[in-house]
Structure 1
Amino acid sequence: MKYIFFILIFVVYSANAQKLDGRVTDSKGQTLPGAVVYWQSNFNDAVISDLEGKFSINKKNNSKNLIVRMVGFNTDTILVKDELSLIVILKESENTLQQVVVEGNATIIDRLSAIHTEVITAKSLAKAACCNLSESFETNGSVSVSYTDAVTGSKQIQLLGLSGTYVQTNIENIPNLRGLATTFGLNYVPGTWIESIDVAKGVGSVINGYENMAGAINVELKKPDHSDRLYVNAYANQFGRAELNINSAKKISKKWSTAILSHGSFLNNKIDNNGDGFLDLPKYNQINLINRWKYNSDRFMGQFGVKFLKENRTGGQVDYKDLATTPNIYGFENHTRRVEFFSKTAILFPDAPYRGLGLIISAINHNSDSRFGNKPYVGIQNTLYSNLIYQDKIGNTNHTYKTGLSFMNDNYDEKYAALTLKRNEIVPGAFFEYTFNHLDRTLLILGLRDDYHNLFGNQFTPRLHFKQDIGQNDTYRFSVGRGFRVPNPLAEYFGNLVSSRNVVFLDKIQPEVSWNFSTSYYKTIGKLSISAELYHNIFTKQWVADMEHPGFIYFYGSENKPKTTSGLIEVNYGPVKNWELKMAYRYVNSKVNLGKPYQENVLVDRMFLSKERVLFNVAYALPYDKWKIDGTLHWNGKRRIPNADPLYDHTSYADMPVRYAPSFVNLNAQVTRNFVKWEYYLGGENLTGFKQSNPIIEPNKPFGNGFDAGMAWGPIVGATIYTGVRFKLI
């Protein structure tokens, strides 16, 4: 991709606005992460102290009173004159309420949320190269990411035993990576754009919609008014993948700020390390840009921006060029163009900070043009989303509520070979969420929403969340709720189309409905934290992809209440003497009902899902993070895989052979050297070198009846060594 380094870069030179730097501690000198710092009457520009208690905030000409607030401590008001740095010591309140957050190795636990939420910080993201969102969960025990096939490079997340299609993925609380973006969407969010990632487990809030069925991932991007003036990241690995990210931000005036985030990447080498005649990694190029603006005043806040993405992928047999030049060689192509507009506005009430009125608007046009051998696929999605939210109190701030109206319009037009799928979903909705909060220790949230789907009728979604602090170091949570979504089979099983399988719909597309029950217990003992979590999903309606018949993929609905139960135990220790440790064990028991092609009903393990997973992460840093060393070990347990033997004669689900892929170990590591403005890193992924043998069935006969590249369950390439450099101008 010759034009990769000629991305349109908007490099801004702002006036060197003075900043106030500080550090927040308690009376014993212990750092306090998560403290809220803001200028009086200007809460919208609040900043949060980081894991070391440090903060940096722009000085205001119209305000000299700095407010520092944190749960469990007395709020302090400091008169700031000419100081450029200070240390704030907070005194514990008489109620000795606990802190908002607790330090952890790879995440911060939100102690105030009724939903068990892990916050992956920028510090955690720097533990790996983190080129995009799909590579941002290496140190997370709940989320795992894997390739969906051996050709396209598509990745999918799994959260607590269910695939990413059941996880609502938002960008700054706007539903985003859904529909046709399910296929490659994790590659559409560069890591250098990310400020933090919230992983909320269990059913979520009714405010953000009805599609959350197993959890929610919310990605916060870099903000124009709190970002570095210039940030550059360059990355390369031994396979020839190269990336360049340039972010710039400018404070235009007291109320206006803007930023441009840019990303370009490419891989143009032919990689076939296993010698099967197919590229192990697709060749690709991508350009990705955001221009965003922000307006802040005492009574109004507004953000809006435009995103543009263009990506081209080519895979398949090594000698494939294009359909016209090499028609008899199997090739895969994908050309995606995506344009988004978003706007977030809010009316503020300075005299009543508990009150607010906000409006979110998003519009997306997604075009995908692909080819699987001689089978074309064209998909177009146009989405319009809006969410109007009003919040206020009932009597006092122990009783608050949020209510509002939402609207979602999804227009899909898909064509695959001779198959055509079209639908236009129009879904207006209303919601109400009541919150009871007693000293941040007892929290009860009851949410109700009702949506009318023009194709599938009325959908009522109740949800309940409860949190109780026990003493100063223990937190118990419980939640239950209903989820609803309409599947997009071709996008969600995109990788399985790289095969000779015929796609057969036994039923018309119907919505999936589930009930989620979750509970967790979180305990801290000094620098040690322990989390025990249990999640249970019951599907009253579920869409099934049946690949037990070689040569076919059947789609149909199942109403036999398949279940998924998952448990997680996670232990974090540190930081202590520059060390941080993390261990996590996850167990999943997930079943699905198959057999409709033969009018059978057989309960089997869900395919391509590890029953067990173990994570161990260790990090060491010299003082001031001059040198940082991080290592993460993953043990992935066995998982059921379909029988793809082209000679297998499938006659009964009850008697079909059950196959399991073996367990395997991955090791990732990175070394980072920090300077004042520069940062250099060297790392490796899959350093154990494990590769799935023969990931493609009959690669020598790609146009034959037995060809199948959708049976990937492990790494396709061996060890990956990468290096990079980061530059930051504050």
Structure 2
Amino acid sequence: MKIRIITIILSLLPIISIAENIKGKVIEKQKTGEVIPLAGASIFWKNTTIGTATNADGVFKLNSTSKSNTLVVQFVGYETKEIAVKQRNKNEIIVEMSPNIALNEIVISKRKLGTVLDRNSPIQSQSITGAELCKAACCNLSESFETNASVDVSYADAATGAKSIKLLGLTGKYIEMMTEKNPNFKGLASVYGMVYVPGPWMESIQVSKGVGSVINGYESITGQINIEYQKPQRSPKFYANIFANSMGMSEANIITSAKLSPKLSTSILAHAQDNDKEIDHNHDHFLDDPMVKQYNFINRWNWDASQFFKVQFGGKFIDEERIGGQKGFNENEANNIDNAYRINIDTRRYEAFAKFGYIFPEDDDKSIALITNFASHEQNSFYGLRNYNAEQKYFYANLLFQSYIGNLKHKYTTGLSFVYDDFKDYLSGDNLGTNRTEKVAGAYIEYTWLPNENITLQTGLRYDTHNIYDNFVTPRIHFRYQFAPKSTMRLAAGSGRRTSNPIAENSFLLASNRSFDISDNLKQEKAWNFGFSLTQYFDLFEKGFTLSADFYRTSFDNQVVTDLDYSVNSVRFYNLDGKSWANNYQVELKFEPIERFNVTTAIRFSDVKADIDNEFKKVPYVNRYKGLINLSYATNFNKWQFDFTTQFNGDMRIPSTQENPSEFQRREESPAYAIMNAQVTKRFRIWELYLGAENIGNYTQENPIISANNPFGEHFDASMIWGPIQERKFYLGVRLTIE
């Protein structure tokens, strides 16, 4: 089978043909003479829909076309420029932009886009910009998808504050989470990693569906989420965000940057969060929201050693204490059944990263880069009378070379990667633990064919040798075809693998009486993902609309099943013996009915089934459907902004509790419900004030904790969560920016 797949992929590599590309850079030259690259500027051929955007260094590359010889360059707050391109050569076009300034230096500009679809990538992906992140509270990454139709985030239990993320109907462990192309939040960080990324720190988030690029590894199965932090060379001199909500949580974020020389810049990102109030609105004697103290710090550097050699490096530190459980815990007494039930999770995490990039002077389409990342994660915790302690050391390195064959219609990236993952954990009471060291060396090649501006074919193949799971091959293919001026289709297929860490990835289930039953010698998970998407741009009533529809299917060969159906007193983990699939359908429509009023609507259906407890049935805790309506209006000059979001959540299957006495039994299918959030933002010259409300309708799951009055008893379970567990809450925040 593998040989047949490889043969098919190689047969798709076309014969080399002649190509011509336009390369350039968009900049602003300040009065001091300093040159600032403009990232995210739009470049397109005049009177066509063929275009692209500049990258983080202000650089763009665009296929030539016979339809036009005039480039249009646009950027918010700058005058639009048109460049006549008369000769097709490899000389870089330098486009110097001028601020669009009226009297008294008032910048008149259009509203920034919130979510941007990548029109040219063969992989279906979208970028969530800073403008979109500011539409909601966005205290951390887990709250960044409230206005996104593709990604679901919800509470995993009613005691710890753990968040569960889903994409294409499957949990977050099948998503490859990355920070600036570094695979991250694995193992011990898989449950709480999203709260380790403060919202104000993020420059943007890239979300792609389906199998990703082989360049980033073999673990992407349902998609990739990549976080771009604020960069030293582009960060404001000083930024502050102060936030508080009605649940007693307050936090502060500070970003400061300094340009030590024209080539060297640095920034510090600091975050502090504090919530020490025991709040119990539903009077079940359990905290509605865990008490959390978190200190988070990054220092990062950017060094442009020369025009061709660039370096980024930095370090990160996280210290968090998370306390949940019953009110009235006495810290001066022993942790036993005579004291209140308490959950305490103490985490320390250290990270260091470095990137080295070199562009060949004789040809800037050839480059070599090294990406490295190291993380050390320690967690000491107890859930009632059970202790769970773990530590993980993770190292990642990726050396890649980018070039082309003959001309720029035939590009390729090839490289070597290495992963070292030392993972240890131990769960008392159940007497279970892991002591595993993974060493994975890999090699890959990815080829991209661009015969014209309408077609992109990307094929990838990687080979990895694993010290535990032997050797394996990962093939992937992506195809983009713009079959009409405003119509684009994409196809994708490929496989992915991952190593399961059952206790760490399901630690929120420890907030229950369930014992953990883990089969010996669990095999590595393997899955195939196939996807189709269609994007259509059209005009109606002289207004522009964007319609996108997609279908993705994930099929597992060897899944690690989390079986909550076998017994109410246990959770079993074993390799799949039978079938498991996830089918996901989504339609999304974006339009602007009037100027500065953006509307996003979406509907998604999920069919996720697997052989669980010798029966082929729906996987629990997956909504059958989800709808989204997001309305956003800004007044002239963006002085006021109003945002409103409604999420419609369909029914889902819930594991049976029929074994329990009648008073501890729960429904086996959740009802459909809607959640409404709103925010108002007032902007001033250098600061802005925002006020919002979440769960406006005050809809909550009734009695979310089973046997809350006897948490040390056999029926206690705080993990059976299908809906909101927090009542309506309000928040207030202030942002200050000094450029």
Change (3 A) 1:77 1:383: closer
- Does the alignment pair 1:473 with 2:491? no
- Equivalent AA in structure 2 for residue 707 of structure 1: F
Q: Secondary structure at the match of 1:541?
A: coil
Displacement of 1:520: 0.2
User: Within 5 Å, which residues of 2 pair with 1:204-243?
Assistant: 204-243=212-251
- Equivalent AA in structure 1 for residue 532 of structure 2: T
Aligned partner (choices 392, 395, 404) of residue 406 of structure 2: 395
Say how many residue pairs are matched.
675
Change (3 A) 1:513 1:239: same
Q: Which residue of 2 aligns with 1:555?
A: 573
Q: Which residue of 1 aligns with 2:606?
A: 588
Q: Secondary structure at the match of 2:380?
A: strand
- Tell me, in whole angstroms, the C-alpha distance in 2 between the residues paired with 1:68 and 1:373: 68
Change (3 A) 1:55 1:204: farther
Q: Secondary structure at the match of 1:236?
A: strand
Q: Which residue of 2 aligns with 1:115?
A: 123
- Equivalent AA in structure 2 for residue 120 of structure 1: I
User: Within 5 Å, which residues of 2 pair with 1:216-365?
Assistant: 216-296=224-304, 297-322=306-331, 324-325=333-334, 327=336, 328-365=339-376
- Tell me, in whole angstroms, the C-alpha distance in 2 between the residues paired with 1:583 and 1:200: 19
Q: Secondary structure at the match of 1:444?
A: strand
- Equivalent AA in structure 2 for residue 339 of structure 1: Y
Instruction: Kindly provide the CA deviation profile for residues 20-64 of structure 1, in whole angstroms up to 9, marking residues without a partner as x.
Output: 79997989999999643999xx959xxxx999832689xxxxxxx
Residue pair 2:72, 2:82 contacting (<8 A) in 1 also: no
Change (3 A) 1:633 1:17: farther
Residues 510-519 or 437-446, more deviating: 437-446
- Tell me, in whole angstroms, the C-alpha distance in 1 between the residues paired with 2:73 and 2:666: 51
Aligned partner (choices 532, 539, 557) of residue 556 of structure 2: 539
Displacement of 1:238: 0.9
- Tell me, in whole angstroms, the C-alpha distance in 2 between the residues paired with 1:367 and 1:335: 8
Change (3 A) 1:393 1:528: same
Q: Which residue of 2 aligns with 1:10?
A: none
- Equivalent AA in structure 2 for residue 457 of structure 1: D
- Tell me, in whole angstroms, the C-alpha distance in 2 between the residues paired with 1:68 and 1:335: 57
- Equivalent AA in structure 1 for residue 352 of structure 2: F
- Tell me, in whole angstroms, the C-alpha distance in 1 between the residues paired with 2:239 and 2:249: 20
Change (3 A) 1:120 1:53: same
- Tell me, in whole angstroms, the C-alpha distance in 1 between the residues paired with 2:438 and 2:232: 34
Q: Which residue of 2 aligns with 1:713?
A: 722
Displacement of 1:106: 4.1
Change (3 A) 1:531 1:441: same
Q: Which residue of 2 aligns with 1:369?
A: 380
* Percent of matched pairs sharing the same residue: 38
User: Within 5 Å, which residues of 2 pair with 1:307-706?
Assistant: 307-322=316-331, 324-325=333-334, 327=336, 328-417=339-428, 418-526=431-539, 527-548=544-565, 549-574=567-592, 576-595=594-613, 601-647=614-660, 659-706=668-715
- Equivalent AA in structure 2 for residue 718 of structure 1: E
Change (3 A) 1:56 1:311: farther
- Does the alignment pair 1:135 with 2:146? no
- Tell me, in whole angstroms, the C-alpha distance in 1 between the residues paired with 2:478 and 2:98: 43
- Equivalent AA in structure 2 for residue 635 of structure 1: F
Residue pair 1:33, 1:53 contacting (<8 A) in 2 also: no
Displacement of 1:576: 3.4
Change (3 A) 1:647 1:38: closer
Change (3 A) 1:586 1:466: same
- Equivalent AA in structure 2 for residue 374 of structure 1: L
**Unaligned ranges ≥5, structure 1:** 1-14, 58-65, 88-101, 596-600, 650-655
Aligned partner (choices 41, 63, 76) of residue 54 of structure 1: 76
Change (3 A) 1:462 1:276: same
Change (3 A) 1:416 1:37: closer
Residue pair 2:290, 2:322 contacting (<8 A) in 1 also: yes
Instruction: Kindly provide the CA deviation profile for residues 49-83 of structure 1, in whole angstroms up to 9, marking residues without a partner as x.
Output: 999832689xxxxxxxx99899xx99995786xx9
- Equivalent AA in structure 1 for residue 558 of structure 2: K
Instruction: Kindly provide the CA deviation profile for residues 271-310 of structure 1, in whole angstroms up to 9, marking residues without a partner as x.
Output: 1111111111110100001000011121201100000000
Q: Secondary structure at the match of 2:503?
A: helix
Residue pair 1:640, 1:658 contacting (<8 A) in 2 also: no
Residue pair 1:288, 1:307 contacting (<8 A) in 2 also: yes
- Tell me, in whole angstroms, the C-alpha distance in 1 between the residues paired with 2:576 and 2:42: 55
Displacement of 1:86: 5.6
- Tell me, in whole angstroms, the C-alpha distance in 1 between the residues paired with 2:343 and 2:45: 62
Instruction: Kindly provide the CA deviation profile for residues 658-716 of structure 1, in whole angstroms up to 9, marking residues without a partner as x.
Output: 81111111001100011110110000111111111111110111111111111011111
- Equivalent AA in structure 2 for residue 541 of structure 1: N
- Tell me, in whole angstroms, the C-alpha distance in 2 between the residues paired with 1:271 and 1:563: 41
- Tell me, in whole angstroms, the C-alpha distance in 2 between the residues paired with 1:51 and 1:422: 55
- Equivalent AA in structure 1 for residue 578 of structure 2: N
Q: Which residue of 1 aligns with 2:202?
A: 194
Residue pair 1:482, 1:515 contacting (<8 A) in 2 also: yes
Q: Secondary structure at the match of 1:213?
A: coil
- Tell me, in whole angstroms, the C-alpha distance in 2 between the residues paired with 1:498 and 1:574: 45
Q: Which residue of 2 aligns with 1:168?
A: 176
Residue pair 1:168, 1:216 contacting (<8 A) in 2 also: yes
- Equivalent AA in structure 2 for residue 333 of structure 1: N
**Unaligned ranges ≥5, structure 2:** 1-30, 61-70, 102-109
Residue pair 1:346, 1:357 contacting (<8 A) in 2 also: yes
Residue pair 1:573, 1:580 contacting (<8 A) in 2 also: yes
- Tell me, in whole angstroms, the C-alpha distance in 2 between the residues paired with 1:641 and 1:688: 23
- Tell me, in whole angstroms, the C-alpha distance in 2 between the residues paired with 1:50 and 1:133: 35
Q: Which residue of 1 aligns with 2:737?
A: 728
- Tell me, in whole angstroms, the C-alpha distance in 2 between the residues paired with 1:507 and 1:723: 50
Residue pair 1:105, 1:575 contacting (<8 A) in 2 also: no
- Equivalent AA in structure 1 for residue 469 of structure 2: F
Change (3 A) 1:392 1:51: closer
Residue pair 1:304, 1:344 contacting (<8 A) in 2 also: yes
TM-score by length of 2: 0.86
Change (3 A) 1:33 1:657: same
Residues 656-665 or 610-619, more deviating: 656-665
- Tell me, in whole angstroms, the C-alpha distance in 1 between the residues paired with 2:531 and 2:56: 36
Residue pair 2:410, 2:450 contacting (<8 A) in 1 also: yes
- Equivalent AA in structure 2 for residue 410 of structure 1: D
Aligned partner (choices 87, 90, 99) of residue 85 of structure 1: 99
- Tell me, in whole angstroms, the C-alpha distance in 2 between the residues paired with 1:320 and 1:207: 49
- Tell me, in whole angstroms, the C-alpha distance in 1 between the residues paired with 2:280 and 2:72: 44
Residue pair 1:666, 1:686 contacting (<8 A) in 2 also: yes
- Does the alignment pair 1:153 with 2:161? yes
Change (3 A) 1:543 1:79: closer
- Tell me, in whole angstroms, the C-alpha distance in 2 between the residues paired with 1:24 and 1:435: 23
Change (3 A) 1:68 1:378: farther
